[in-house]
Amino acid sequence: MNILFLTLGKLYNLKSSDIYSDLMECFIQHGHQVFIVTPYERSMGKSTEYYEEDGAHFLAVKTLNIQKTNIIEKGLGTLLIGWQYKQAIKKYLKDIKVDLVTYSTPPITLAGVVDYVKARYGAKSYLQLKDIFPQNALDIGLMSESGLKGLIYRNFRKKEKELYEVSDFIGCMSSANVQYVLAHNPEISADKVGVCPNSIALRPHPEVDRTAIRQKYGLPTDKPVFLYGGNLGKPQGIDYLISCLKSVSNRPDCHFLIVGSGTEAHKVDEYLQQEKPANISIIVFLPKEEYYRVVASCDIGLIFLDHRFTIPNFPSRLLPYMEYKMPVICATDVNTDIKDVVVDNGFGFWCESRDAVDFDVCVNRMLNSDYIQMGEKGYKYLKSHYLVGNAYELIMKQINISE
């Protein structure tokens, strides 16, 4: 059958290993045709383009800047992208019979294009719910329930409900996400919501010279290295992250490496420039392949989320840590069930992201544990629960489509 995937991610080929490219590749391996609609943001300076690569068809649509831009352009771009995708599909995919349209959040403004595809082709629709917006923005103060921000919030909340309504099935990252969606949207039938976790394909890893990689980036070769890799923005609670770095800055028994960028990255960089802690490093950007070599050279993964979240986020950055047999420390809100998965299955520790002292306790516990064995447990859990083949089978079963 023909699969149409709508994404906000910059997915221009299937060479990079992530939750979306791996899933699309899995559909192709099962004999399906895959059509991917992805943005060419304004900053890229490219026009809309349709091409084939890696066994998939790509429709890259010129849009406004949506990521790493000011809030006005981000909001306008998010509102327009559904219409822009619809126009591009009409022009470039008019002769394609779509059997299944699947899409991920963000954004939530795709209801119109999904409705169009369903009406035109009789396609089924499957939402991969990766974040719950606008509640996540409300939680951390980017929106409010009153004033102008309240109007914006209510408009986006309306669009969120429209997206849920047009979706034949909603696949959530975890059980807590399922419970949240049903509790806060009572009009949704429980039959159309289920768990479909973030998943990846395991690939052979080239041998990595850990010592050489550590020396390349000025990391110690004789002590454990904790790694945070990912976005550095408001959802990660950067002020708390910095307080954690301060609390561990004089430790002689370990090193901390931050790899990432984002709207709050300057705060981390400013702290490091001012204080110059000997056991903390930052790398603003790494190509994906090089980042994985760094992951393979570190020992323990870190996950941070703002303590104010009421929605149960489940960050996909957990998966590379597990893939490379790294145990994790999660410093998050109390609502996410990532803490339950990590702690209950013995491959990590958790603390609420309020007091840096609690993070320091987790660091002590990790260093006093057999963290190599904990990493093995995480890898085993990954193979049992987060492989892309499992996600594919769940989607086919949930949407009730036969091979």
pLDDT digit string, tens, across residues 99-142: 999 999 988 889 999 999 999 999 999 999 999 999 999 999 98
pLDDT at 78: 83
Whether 403 is covered by a domain: the verdict is no
Contact assessment for residue 269 and residue 282, using Cβ atoms and an 8 Å cutoff: yes
Residue 234 CA: distances (Å) to CA of 195, 214, 272, 283, 320: 26, 29, 19, 19, 22
pLDDT of residue 183: 97
Concatenate the DSSP letters of all residues of 71-121 into one string. HHHHHHHHHHHHHHHHHHHHHHSTT---SEEEEEES-S--HHHHHHHHHHH
Q: Are residue 169 and residue 245 in the same domain, yes or no?
A: no
- Give the Cβ contact number of residue 194 at 10 Å: 16
Mean pLDDT for each consecutive 10-residue tract of the chain (403 residues)? 94 90 96 96 93 95 85 84 93 93 90 94 95 94 90 92 96 96 97 96 90 96 96 95 96 96 92 95 91 96 97 95 97 96 97 97 97 98 96 93 56
Q: Which helix (H) or strand (E) holds 329?
A: strand 328-332
Q: How many domains does the chain have?
A: 2
Domain co-membership, 254 together with 189: no
- Residue 68: its pLDDT value, please? 73
pLDDT at 402: 54
Rounded to whole angstroms, the Cα distance separating 113 from 311 reads 26
Shared domain for 292 and 192, answered yes or no, is no
Query: Order of strands, edge to edge, in the sheet holding 280-283?
Result: 280-283, 255-259, 225-229, 300-304, 328-332, 348-352
Helix H or strand E encompassing 51:
strand 49-53
Shared domain for 239 and 306, answered yes or no, is yes
- Residue 107 covered by a domain: yes
Residue 304 phi, psi (nearest 5): -125, 140
Is residue 221 one of the residues assigned to a domain? Answer: yes
Decide the pairing of beta strands 100-105 and 2-6.
parallel
331 within a domain of the structure (yes/no)? yes
162 domain-assigned: yes
3-state secondary structure at position 372: helix
Q: 186 and 91, same structural domain?
A: yes
Q: Are residues 235 and 350 in the same domain?
A: yes
Asked if residue 333 and residue 239 are part of one domain, the reply reads yes
Residue 369's domain spans which residues?
A: 210-385
Is the residue at 361 inside a domain? yes
Report yes or no on 314 lying in a domain: yes
Q: Same domain for 132 and 85?
A: yes
Q: Are residues 96 and 151 in the same domain?
A: yes
The answer to whether residues 194 and 229 belong to one domain is no
Angle among Cα 178, 179, 185 to the nearest 5 degrees reads: 90
27 and 56 fall within a common domain: yes
Residue 324 sits in a domain whose CATH number is 3.40.50.2000
Q: What is the pLDDT of residue 384?
A: 96
pLDDT of residue 401: 65
299 shares its domain with 186: no
